[in-house]
C-alpha cells in the first residue's frame, strides 16, 4: 500500500513541446492518500490514461517525479512498482484456464500453492467465476473475460495500488452495476488504494470517496461527490457533473443582488461580498434541482419562457429561456400546469457566483 505523490508531473507525447497545447498532461501536483478510493473522471482525451500509465510506469513523464510513500520511483519499470492495472479490454492468457489466469500474478510472486488456491477461490467467488474455474479462458464470453482481468487485478493483496482504466466498458449495463458494487466492497475490505478511471459520472460518483475531475490535461477539482455537486470549483465541473449540468447566467451586481435582465436576485451576504471583491466577468450558477419554477408571479420571481418539458419518469426536465439564456429545471411531480410562461425563483443558499469560469469562494 502506498501514498502516491505526483510532484509537478507533466507529459507531452511530442519530442520538443512548445506551448501548453503540446502537453497531454499540463501540470499535476498532487498527493493521493494511502487506502483511498479515487475516481479519475473526465471526457475522452483529457489525459486520464496518460496519468494512469505514468503511475503504473508504462510511461515516463516528460517532467516531474512520481513518489510512492515518499520514495522516488519515476524511473522504475512497471514490474518493480508493485502495482496492479486493469485495462479497458481483457488482458489474459487464452490457453490457460480461468483458475490459472487468476493464479498467475500470485505464482509470479512466488506464493505457495495453498495460499494461491485460497486467494483464487476467494476472488472467483466475489466475481461469480467459481463455476468457470476449470474452463479455458478462450471459450468464455467478452464479459467473463473482462471479469477474469478484473480478478487478476484484485488477486494480490500486497500491491501498492490497483489502477482500473475504464474496466467496465465491455460489460453489459446490468452486470456493470453489479460489478461496480463489488469493486466498492472489495475496496472497503482490502483498504488498498484504488484509482478508477472513467468518463461516466455515475460510475465515478458511486465508486469513489474522492473524485478527481480532469479537463484538458489538468485536474480541475478533487472532492467528494457532494462537494462537486454543491460547490463545483470550475464551470466545467458544474456542466460535467449532474444531469443535466449546472445552469449559468451572466449577471452584474447591485448591492446584495445579482442583476439578470433587469431583475434583481437576492444573494446571501457571503456570496454578495465575494462578488463585490471580484473583478472578473460574473455568472450566476444554480443546479436544475434547486431552480424553482412557478406558474404565476410570486415574490422575488423572474419571468421566463418555457421551451420544452421532457418526462423522465419520476421527474421532469423543463427547458426555459431567460433573456436568451437557456436554463434547465428539474421538476418534482405536480408542476404539469406550467405551459408557456413560468416564474423562476433562485433560492439564496443554492446560488453560486463564478468569475472567469471559476467559483468564487472564501479562502
Query: How far is the C-alpha of 39 from the C-alpha of 213, rounded, in Å?
Result: 8
Q: How far is the CB of 48 from ligand ADP (least distance, A)?
A: 3
Q: How far is the CB of 84 from ligand ADP (least distance, A)?
A: 18
Mask for 5-24, x = binds ligand ADP (CB under 6 A) = --------x----------x
Based on the shown chain and the rule CB under 5 A, indicate whether residue 49 belongs to the binding site for Mg ion: yes
Question: CA angle at residue 175 from 90 to 228, to 5 degrees?
Answer: 95
Based on the shown chain and the rule CB under 6 A, indicate whether residue 45 belongs to the binding site for ligand ADP: yes
Closer by beta carbon to Mg ion, 43 or else 347: 43
Residue numbers 235-254 binding ligand ADP by CB under 6 A: none
- List the grid coordinates of 154: 484484485
105 binds, among ligand ADP, Mg ion, none (CB under 5 to 8 A by kind): none
Q: Count how many residues are written for the chain.
A: 363
Give residue for cell 467528494: 224
CB 205 within 8 A of CB 40: no
Query: How far is the C-alpha of 87 from the C-alpha of 95, rounded, in Å?
Result: 20
Closer by beta carbon to ligand ADP, 45 or else 255: 45
24 binds, among Mg ion, ligand ADP, none (CB under 5 to 8 A by kind): ligand ADP
Query: How far is the C-alpha of 125 from the C-alpha of 23, rounded, in Å?
Result: 43
Identify which range of 42-50, 153-161, 277-285, 296-304 contacts ligand ADP by CB under 6 A: 42-50
Number of other residues whose CB lies within 10 A of the CB of residue 10: 21
Give residue for cell 476472488: 123
Q: How far is the CB of 324 from ligand ADP (least distance, A)?
A: 33
Q: How far is the CB of 43 from ligand ADP (least distance, A)?
A: 7
Q: How far is CA 83 from CA 106, 166, 253, in A?
A: 13, 17, 52
Query: How far is the C-alpha of 261 from the C-alpha of 324, rounded, in Å?
Result: 9
CB 25 within 8 A of CB 82: no
* One of 9, 48, 302, 346 touching ligand ADP (CB under 6 A): 48
Q: How far is the CB of 227 from Mg ion (least distance, A)?
A: 24
* One of 46, 150, 192, 237 touching ligand ADP (CB under 6 A): 46
Q: How far is CA 272 from CA 327, 352, 357, 359, in A?
A: 22, 10, 17, 13
Please list the residues that pair with 331 across neighbouring strands. 316
Closer by beta carbon to Mg ion, 5 or else 49: 49
Please list the residues that pair with 195 across neighbouring strands. 38, 163
* One of 5, 49, 56, 198 touching ligand ADP (CB under 6 A): 49
CB 137 within 8 A of CB 92: yes
Question: CA angle at residue 195 from 191 to 196, to 5 degrees?
Answer: 120
Identify which range of 38-46, 275-283, 312-320, 343-351 contacts ligand ADP by CB under 6 A: 38-46
Based on the shown chain and the rule CB under 6 A, indicate whether residue 89 belongs to the binding site for ligand ADP: no
Cβ-count burial 305-315 (b if 16+ within 10 Å, e if not): ebeebeeeeee
Closer by beta carbon to ligand ADP, 215 or else 248: 215
Based on the shown chain and the rule CB under 6 A, indicate whether residue 255 belongs to the binding site for ligand ADP: no
* One of 47, 57, 238, 285 touching ligand ADP (CB under 6 A): 47
Identify which range of 37-45, 90-98, 272-280, 316-324 contacts ligand ADP by CB under 6 A: 37-45
Q: How many residues bind Mg ion (CB under 5 A)?
A: 1
Binding footprint of Mg ion on the chain (CB under 5 A) = 49
Binding footprint of ligand ADP on the chain (CB under 6 A) = 13, 24, 42, 44-50
Amino acid at each position: 500500500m502506498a501514498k502516491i505523490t505526483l510532484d509537478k508531473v507533466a507529459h507531452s507525447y511530442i519530442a520538443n513541446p512548445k506551448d501548453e497545447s503540446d502537453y497531454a498532461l499540463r501540470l499535476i501536483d498532487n498527493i493521493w492518500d494511502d487506502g483511498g478510493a479515487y475516481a479519475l473522471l473526465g471526457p475522452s482525451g483529457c489525459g486520464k490514461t496518460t496519468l494512469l500509465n505514468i503511475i503504473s510506469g508504462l510511461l515516463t513523464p516528460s517532467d516531474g517525479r512520481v513518489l510512492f510513500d515518499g520514495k522516488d520511483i519515476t524511473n522504475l519499470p512497471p514490474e518493480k512498482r508493485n502495482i496492479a492495472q486493469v485495462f479497458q479490454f481483457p488482458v489474459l492468457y487464452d490457453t490457460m484456464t480461468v483458475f490459472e489466469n487468476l493464479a498467475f500474478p500470485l505464482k509470479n510472486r512466488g506464493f505457495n500453492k495453498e495460499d494461491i488456491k485460497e486467494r483464487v477461490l476467494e476472488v472467483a467467488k466475489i466475481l461469480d467465476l467459481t463455476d468457470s474455474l476449470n474452463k479455458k479462458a478462450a471459450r468464455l464470453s467478452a464479459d467473463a473475460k473482462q471479469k477474469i482481468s478484473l480478478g487478476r487485478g484484485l488477486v494480490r493483496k500486497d500491491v501498492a495500488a490497483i489502477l482500473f482504466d475504464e474496466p467496465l466498458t465491455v460489460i453489459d449495463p446490468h452486470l456493470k452495476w453489479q460489478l461496480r458494487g463489488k469493486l466498492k466492497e472489495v475496496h472497503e475490505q482490502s483498504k488498498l488504494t484504488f484509482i478508477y478511471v472513467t468518463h461516466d459520472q455515475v460510475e465515478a460518483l458511486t465508486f469513489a470517496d474522492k473524485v478527481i475531475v480532469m479537463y484538458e490535461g489538468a485536474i480541475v477539482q478533487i472532492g467528494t461527490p457532494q462537494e462537486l455537486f454543491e460547490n463545483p470549483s470550475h464551470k466545467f465541473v458544474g456542466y460535467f457533473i449532474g444531469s443535466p449540468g449546472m445552469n449559468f447566467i451572466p449577471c452584474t451586481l447591485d448591492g446584495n443582488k445579482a442583476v439578470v435582465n433587469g431583475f434583481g436576485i437576492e444573494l446571501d451576504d457571503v456570496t454578495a461580498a465575494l462578488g463585490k471583491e471580484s473583478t472578473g466577468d460574473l455568472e450566476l450558477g444554480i443546479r436544475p434541482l434547486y431552480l424553482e419554477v412557478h406558474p404565476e408571479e410570486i415574490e422575488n420571481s423572474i419571468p421566463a419562457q418555457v421551451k420544452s418539458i421532457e418526462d423522465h419518469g419520476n421527474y421532469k426536465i423543463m427547458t426555459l429561456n431567460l433573456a436568451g439564456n437557456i436554463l434547465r429545471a428539474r421538476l418534482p411531480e405536480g408542476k404539469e400546469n406550467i405551459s408557456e410562461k413560468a416564474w423562476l425563483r433562485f433560492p439564496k443558499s443554492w446560488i453560486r457566483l463564478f468569475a472567469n469560469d471559476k467559483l468564487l469562494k472564501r479562502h
